[in-house]
Structure 1
Amino acid sequence: MHPPHIPSFALRPLAAACLLLPLLAQAQGAPQQAAVLQAVTVRSTLAQSPVEQTPASVSVLDGEQLRDRQWQVNLSESLGGTPGLLLQNRQNYAQDLQLSIRGHGARSTFGVRGIQVFVDGIPATMPDGQGQTNHIDLSSLERIEVLRGPYSALYGNASGGVIQAWTERGQGRPSVQGSFALGSNGQKRLGLKAQGEAGGVGYVVSASRFLTDGWRVHSAADKNQLNLRLDTQPREDTQLTLVANHTAIDAQDAGGLTPAEWRADPRATAAGPLQFNMRKTMRQTQAGLTWERRLDGASAVRATLYAGTRAITQYQSIPVAAQKAPTSAGGVIDLGRDYGGLDLRWAHNAEPQDGEVGLIAGLAASVVREDRQGYNNHLGDVLGVQGTLRRDERNTLSNLDPYAQASWAFAPRWRLDAGVRYSRVRFESRDHYIAPGNGDDSGDARYRRLLPVLSLQHAWDARTQFYASVGGGLETPTFNEISYRPGGLAGLNFGLRPATSTSAEVGVRQRLAGDGLLRGDWSAALFHTRTQDEIVPAENAGGRTSYQNAGRTRRQGLELAGTLQLARAWQLQGALTLLDATLREGFCDAKGNCVPAGRRIAGTARRQAWLALDWRPDSQWRAGVEWRHLGSIAANDSNSVLTPSYGVLAASAGHTLQRGAWKLDTFARIDNLTDRQYVGSVIVNESNGRYFEGAPGRQWMLGLSLTHQF
């Protein structure tokens, strides 16, 4: 594993910080009433374990932390401090957040790609690796875990990283909470949540509505969510959990701007989105049931079944002239999708002690059936309406993946973990739109690969752990990428190969929990990934985009994260990511435009940093400031366009008043205090050069919640 190319001026302070933290932990000072550090159990690895004993880079974020002084609408609000994770709010609710982990998923122009997302055990990533996050209900979350590195390969296809979200469990006395927040650009959020336990059934029901006029022209949105969780124990050794979720979004789409247009007016919208009234409606409903049973003191089984439906109608601003090509799919997408699946798992002694072996075996399967139609986005001279049918197909995606893991505590303070997953993904398309110049695009494709993971960890002492891991990875083409062949040929793009990778990581994690000057925790990780057959655009012609394999790429870097309790009332958190993501081999597209080796992978930034200082003098008052820095992002493969780097500052304060069974919580927040103009997200390789989506200037918000406990 070659060390990442990181400037020495950046490494010196980081290395000093890594050395000083454990020394400071041993320093003796005046006794302080520091907050007690809570034990944290990681669930994203197959074998659940305390975070200090997890052989992987993982960040755990508590639900209360995610909600505190936030809108509770987007993951980007509170996950910006997660090392290795680049998460940008597009200020465009017709598109999902731009999300990548260690450079995986950075090339995605819509949705989430290359990363596995789960909500209450239900995959939000389809078998082809395309997913979304806009149905995650932040107001009822218990926690989110972000898993990075080789270990994530145990989740199969598109596992450049894993994001897992869990709804909190209802327990204790019943309570009802109402909340309201408002802010800049007509933003308003209404929320209602009930939770508790009655008759042996724990319940959480959460409903919310978010409205915004949009910061940019033509970016208004209306988002509605309903989330439910029920828990019960029919027997002492058995647990049943039912989850259900519904999300409805109606949003205008402002599209992107060229760099010149953005510099002239970052709030502007190009003519196309206005003329064609670019917009999107989305409706999704899903439910899942998990059954868990302890067989004896050392073994347990778990089964999860889920099903859902998703409907999308999206109007694009494709010019009328471009839709005249016989191969054009039009400018309106009409998609209906039904999906379902299961995950069966058996575990024996999953947390082995010295000399013991833990075993886990399971089977994950899912199937997606979608009806996809495309229509012209005009009728005669009337633009922005559904016109003539141009695409009609029935697609089926499926996967069937057995997996297993063994953990062996072969010596005191040493543990070896080995895992494997056999990932099998199948595509099938039946084309029902066959016209002159537009042939039959029906076809089938299958991908399969064995994904091994091996990790070794050593507990230096009760608070310090070192680990090293290596694993394989697979990223199949998504259905959109395999749908068309270069040159306008009919049929699926069978020549497009999946991207395969080998990843390695070494890391250290330490808990500072003594009686010394500082309390908290910190972690550091060096990572290196080599990928073969990276998938990139090949041709954009006749209203169709086809893809090809680009050859070898490399992603390597350094992650640092830490939390320090400086005094009784003060807490400092920080995270730093340095990433070198480059092409190791050049490539040329179908038109002969070539990108040489050494160029940065589009959509990636070489550095990002986050600092937050929080003040909590008592149980009533809290306040904080946070700073976020992001280096320039490559907007296209040639790296001819880069976003400006930036740093933004935010401040917030809150107060909690408890009177008997009533609790009133109020807060205020200001984002982008210095009114900095910066690019909020990038539309990678946008064919018209409109790469930039501007971020808002200074923004304010006020909110309150009122809770009554019965």
Structure 2
Amino acid sequence: MHVVRLCLCAGWPLRLSTVASLMALAQGAAAQTGAAAPPALPDVTVRSTLVQSPLDYTPAAVTIVDGDRLRDRQWQVNLSEGLSGTPGLLLQNRQNYAQDLQLSIRGHGARSTFGVRGVQIFVDGIPSTMPDGQGQTSNIDLQSVERIEVLRGPYSALYGNASGGVINAYTERGEGRPRVDSSFAMGSNGQKRLGLKAQGEQGGVGYVVSASRFLTDGFRPQSAADKNQFNARLDTDPGDSSHLMLVANHVNVDAQDPGGVTPADWRANPRATAQGPLDFNTRKNMRQTQVGLAYDFRVDAANALRLMVYAGQRHITQYQSTPVAAQKPATSAGGVIDLGRDYGGMDLRWAHDAQLADAPLNLVLGLAANVVEEDRQGYNNFLGKQLGVMGALRRDERNTLNNADPYLQASWAFAPRWKLDAGLRWSNVKFVSRDHYIVPGNGDDSGSTRFRRWLPMLSLQHALNAATQVYASVGGGMETPTFNEISYRPGGLPGLNFGLQPATSTSAEIGLRQRIAGDVLRGQWTAALFHTDTKNEIVAADNTGGRATYRNAGRTRRQGAELATQLQLARQWQLNAALTVLDAKLRDGICDSKGSCVPAGKRIAGTARTQAAIGLDWRPHDDWRIGADWRHVSAIAANDSNSAQAPGYGVLALSTGYTRQWGPWKLNAFARIDNLADKKYVGSVIVNEGNGRYYEAAPGRQWMAGMSLGYQF
């Protein structure tokens, strides 16, 4: 089922009655067709809360999207395809594969101009977020993912360096008879995708092996990309009380970088690309390989142990459009980044089931430790008059990141309808940099710093009845600057920006979750109110030539509401809807390195006040499915002063799919049209871009079609 967004703001007179009307129409249509009652709701266990619990009894805002829904009638390349309707999550495809997706949860991470900040990302329990809080999503293989969980709010404190939330992706486990699936899709702007997946179980070993390649010419000049991905998972049970899982993945991305354009250039031509990226042939190559091993052992009926270890390598070469003149000072780091990372870590966890006052008590005690060794070089992006080539060395440093965080979570069902959850984590992140580029005018910029904080979490849950749960939670968060964010100092000063402090926050949330299990209508709906106060908010100070600097902005406040529903209307109709209202503002005024000041009360850059989604799927026959998706995002502030705002937009997509089984063969054909009305809109913004090139345009009307063919041995 796909999800759609509708704006509930001024200028769009749609209200919650619209959702109710759509539900009534769908229910009426189902009744007219004489459809049978919808199937029983599946029981789903949430894994992201450490002490696992059924979704209905989870005292946190969490959304689970299964892999079949993520893949159905989609490219299977970007998380934005299947998660963009998740409440609280602003996830937009930048149409720029050199910079990853623009992702924020409840306004956390909105400042990021590339990669992910303020949100922890895990794949099969292995962190895709480094100890400094910088993450990326490009290694998530949607072709083989079993589910994705999006956890929001105070519970994320138990994962350490993340204020906004956690995204957990889990690969399918190979089971049953061997099966092979091949897929092909093509669409607008030269997009093509090839995929191959094998899965099954043989000799007590379950396996899933997946490989894919995605190519695009890009919507704008200088935006072509080539992404190759491989993912594998092996499972086996060495003994009656143990389980072993091995995962490995590799991703290689070659992508051009079109950068942003000014609002005036975008209005004149949405396909425009500034001259700088063209002159310097801005581009990025990223290669990453990692492996992980998880071992689970059931000691006895009350105790279990889990050990996860992982290691990986990542290399990035990026050519930026930094002007030649800006690279003349001795303190310049050049216009080419050459970055290599070796990283690894472990998570050791003990789970214990006990009784306290004759009530069940579940305990989890663990230690998470991670280390990153980084070699970073910078070079000029020119040789003589030739631009876009690697020139003289301008930066050379060895950076080390590490953390060792003990954590504890307890869940106590102290009364028949009551449950108390509590957790505590000691977050401890250390940065060390050793400068090896010391020349006249550029001295030794070596240094180190450490950030520490206790991160508590407390949640109380009450069952109003068997189908309705309410909860309230509170927690503390810490978001450190990343190494990329301390790489440059505002105002062109030399050295690392070790004066940048972590943002600390206190979050509170109240929520309600209710299951609906009628004869005609089945599903669930959820609601949450949230409030977060943050000190030393990290914001972009400047962003020029692909180089961003950051500063602390004093106090900020994020508060709002989330609503979501997933409903099965008889057997043929399925409805998903989500609404997020976010009030994210500066509580203190801030001034940049040039003396320009922004008063308190301005919206935090990169955030939207409202976003909403509605999607309706119709299955007139077991072989056919037809869907309509509508999504809307209100205006997004592009800079701290809010003088530039990307206009709000609403877009409609239609899709269809056909599945047919012939003995061991299974055919799945699909097609979709995105942005059916060919709306002109800004897909994402580059926060505080120094030249005013804030906008990254989204494509107009786009089509895609494809098919997959599977064989079961």
> What TM-score do the two structures reach when normalised by structure 2?
0.95
Residue number in structure 1 paired with 2:274 = 270
The separation in 2 between residues aligned to 1:330 and 1:494, in whole angstroms, is: 20
Of the three residues 286, 290, 293, the one matched with 1:289 is 293
Q: 1:208 to 1:702 in 2, by over 3 A?
A: same
Range with bigger deviation, 212-221 or 603-612: 212-221
Between 643-652 and 434-443, report the one with greater CA deviation.
434-443
Matched residue SS, 2:293: strand
Q: Pick from 323, 326, 330: which aligns with 1:326?
A: 330
Question: How far apart, CA to CA, are the structure 1 residues paired with 2:441 and 2:423?
Answer: 49
Cα separation, partners in 2 of 1:583 and 1:662, compared to 1, 3 Å: same
From the superposition, tell whether residues 152 and 93 of structure 1 become closer, same or farther in structure 2 (CA, over 3 Å).
same
State the Cα RMSD in Å: 2.3
Once the 2 structures are TM-superposed, how far is the Cα of residue 110 of structure 1 from its aligned partner? 1.0
CA distance in 1, matches of 2:587, 2:177: 59
- Native 8 Å contact 2:38 2:570 kept in 1: yes
Partner SS, residue 258 of structure 2: coil
Question: Which residue identity is paired with 2:407?
Answer: Y
Query: Would you say 1:560 and 2:563 are equivalent positions?
Result: yes
SS at match of 1:235: coil
Task: Please name the residue that 1:40 is paired with.
Answer: 44
Does the C-alpha gap of structure 1 residues 545 and 664 become closer, same or farther in structure 2, counting only changes over 3 Å?
closer
Q: How does 1:631-642 map to 2 (within 5 A)?
A: 631-642=634-645
Cα distance in 2 for residues equivalent to 1:75 and 1:433: 39
Which of 607, 618, 633 is the aligned partner of 1:604? 607
Query: Which residue of 2 is the match for residue 595 of structure 1?
Result: 598
Q: Indicate conservation of the 8 Å contact 2:354/2:360, yes or no.
A: no
Letter aligned with residue 95 of structure 1: Q
CA contact (8 A) 1:326 1:542 kept: no
Query: How far apart are residue 537 of structure 1 and its match?
Result: 3.6
- Taking the aligned partners of 2:329 and 2:493, their CA distance within structure 1 comes to 14
CA distance in 1, matches of 2:58, 2:539: 34
The correspondence for 1:364, drawn from 358, 364, 368, is 368
**How far did 1:179 drift?**
0.6
Determine if the alignment matches structure 1 residue 104 to structure 2 residue 108: yes
Q: What does the per-residue CA deviation read over 1:100-145, in whole Å, with 9 as the maximum and x for residues that have no partner?
A: 0000000111111111000111111111111110111000000000
Render the CA deviation track for 1:419-470: whole Å, top value 9, x for unaligned.
0000000000000011122121100100000000000000111111000000
Any residues of structure 2 matched to 1:309-388 within 5 Å, and which? 309-349=313-353, 355-388=359-392
Aligned equivalent of 2:187, options 180, 183, 187: 183
Q: What is the rounded CA distance, in whole Å, between the counterparts of 2:11 and 2:413 in structure 1?
A: 40
Given that 1:443 and 1:491 are in contact with CA atoms closer than 8 Å, whether structure 2 keeps it comes out as no
Match of 1:652 in 2: 655
Q: Which residue of 2 aligns with 1:666?
A: 669
Mean alpha-carbon deviation: is it higher for 530-539 or for 430-439?
530-539
Q: Give the match's secondary structure for 1:268.
A: coil
How many Å apart are 1:358 and its aligned residue? 1.1
Question: 1:209-248 counterparts in 2 under 5 A?
Answer: 209-248=213-252
**Partner Cα separation in structure 2 for residue 535 and residue 412 of structure 1:** 44
- Whole-angstrom CA distance in 1 between matches of 2:541 and 2:226: 36
> One-letter code of the match for 1:562?
T
Provide the C-alpha distance between the structure 2 equivalents of 1:165 and 1:37, rounded to a whole number of angstroms: 22
User: What's the TM-score, normalizing by structure 1?
Assistant: 0.95
- 5+ residue gaps, structure 2, are 1-7
Distance in 2, Cα, partners of 1:534 & 1:350? 41
Cα contact 1:47–1:350 (8 A) shared by 2: no
Please give the secondary structure, in 1, of the residue aligned with 2:266: helix
> 2:4 aligns to what?
none
Matched residue, 2:3: none
Shift in Å, 1:404: 0.1
The answer on whether the counterparts of 2:320 and 2:546 sit within 8 Å (CA) in structure 1 is no
Cα distance between partner residues in 1 of 2:631 and 2:152: 21
Contact 1:451/1:473 (CA < 8 Å) preserved in 2? yes
User: In the alignment, residue 589 of structure 2 is paired with which amino acid?
Assistant: G
State whether residues 35 and 571 of structure 2, in contact with CA within 8 Å, keep that contact through their aligned partners in structure 1: no
Q: How far apart, in 2, do the equivalents of 1:572 and 1:210 lie?
A: 30
CA-to-partner distance for each residue in 1:210-246, whole Å, 9 max, x for gaps? 1111111111111000100000001011000000000
Provide, for residues 139-171 of structure 1, a one-character-per-residue CA deviation record: whole Å limited to 9, x for no partner.
Answer: 000000000000011000124110000110000
User: Are 1:455 and 2:474 counterparts?
Assistant: no
The one of the two structures with greater contact order (alpha-carbon pairs below 8 A, sep at least 6) is 2
Cα 1:508–1:13 change in 2 (3 A) is farther
Whether 1:392 aligns to 2:366 is: no
Aligned partner of 1:527 in structure 2 is 530
- Please state how far the C-alpha of 1:548 moved relative to its aligned partner: 2.3
Cα distance between partner residues in 1 of 2:446 and 2:364: 39
**Matches of 2:301 and 2:189, distance apart in 1:** 56
Amino acid at match of 1:586: G
Equivalent pair of 2:321/2:546 in contact (CA under 8 Å)? no
Aligned runs of 1:423-442 on 2, under 5 Å? 423-442=427-446
CA distance in 2, matches of 1:10, 1:409: 45
Separation in 1 of the partners of 2:578 and 2:293? 36
Q: Which residue of 1 aligns with 2:630?
A: 627
Shift of 1:557: 0.4
Instruction: State the Cα deviation string for residues 31-51 of structure 1 (Å, max 9, x = none).
Output: 942122111110111111100
Query: Residue in 1 aligned with 2:499?
Result: 495
Query: Within 2, Cα distance between the matches of 1:682 and 1:426?
Result: 31
SS at match of 1:130: coil
Whether the 8 Å contact between 1:354 and 1:411 is mirrored in structure 2 is no
Cα offset, 1:490, TM superposition = 4.8
Residue identity matched to 1:575: A
Taking a change above 3 Å as real, the CA distance of residues 489 and 323 of structure 1, as seen in their structure-2 partners, is closer
The answer to whether structure 1 residue 257 and structure 2 residue 274 are counterparts is no
Q: Give the distance between the partners of 1:277 and 1:31, measured in 2 at CA.
A: 57
d(CA) in 2 for partners of 1:353, 1:658: 55
Change (3 A) 1:549 1:11: farther
Alignment of 1:401-416 (within 5 A): 401-416=405-420
SS of equivalent residue, structure 1 residue 196: strand
3-state SS of paired residue (1:480): coil
Structure 2 Cα separation of the partners of residues 256 and 664 of structure 1? 41
1:7, 1:183 → 2: CA distance? 33
Structure 2 Cα separation of the partners of residues 518 and 566 of structure 1: 5
Q: Distance in 2 between matches of 1:572 and 1:487?
A: 51
Cα separation, 2, equivalents of 1:16 and 1:635: 30
C-alpha deviation, 1:16, in angstroms: 11
State the distance in 1 between where 2:515 and 2:382 align.
61
Q: Is the 8 A contact 2:321 2:545 kept in 1?
A: no
Report the alpha carbon displacement of residue 677 of structure 1 after superposing the two structures with TM.
Answer: 0.5
Deviation at 1:12, TM superposition (A): 11
SS at match of 1:322: helix
Which residue identity does 1:365 align to in structure 2?
A
- Alignment check: 8 A CA contact 1:354 1:409 kept: no
Partner SS for 1:52: helix
Q: What does residue range 47-86 of structure 1 map to in structure 2 within 5 Å?
A: 47-86=51-90
Tell me the equivalent position of 1:3.
none
Call closer, same or farther: CA 1:16–1:210 in 2, change over 3 Å: closer
- What residue ranges of structure 1 are gaps of 5+ in the alignment? 1-5
The 3 A distance-change label for structure 1 pair 542 and 66 is: closer
User: What is residue 154 of structure 2 aligned with on the other side?
Assistant: 150
Please report how far the alpha carbon of residue 350 of structure 1 lies from its aligned counterpart in structure 2 after TM superposition: 8.5
| Aligned partner (choices 699, 702, 707) of residue 699 of structure 1 | 702
Q: Distance in 2 between matches of 1:695 and 1:351?
A: 55
Matched ranges for 1:192-211 at <5 A: 192-211=196-215
1:288 and 1:7, CA in 2 relative to 1: closer, same or farther beyond 3 A?
same
1:121 to 121, 125, 130: 125
Choose which of 700, 703, 711 in structure 2 pairs with 1:708: 711
Instruction: Establish whether residue 90 from structure 1 lines up as the match of residue 132 from structure 2.
Output: no
Distance in 2 (CA, whole Å) between partners of 1:489 and 1:75 is 37
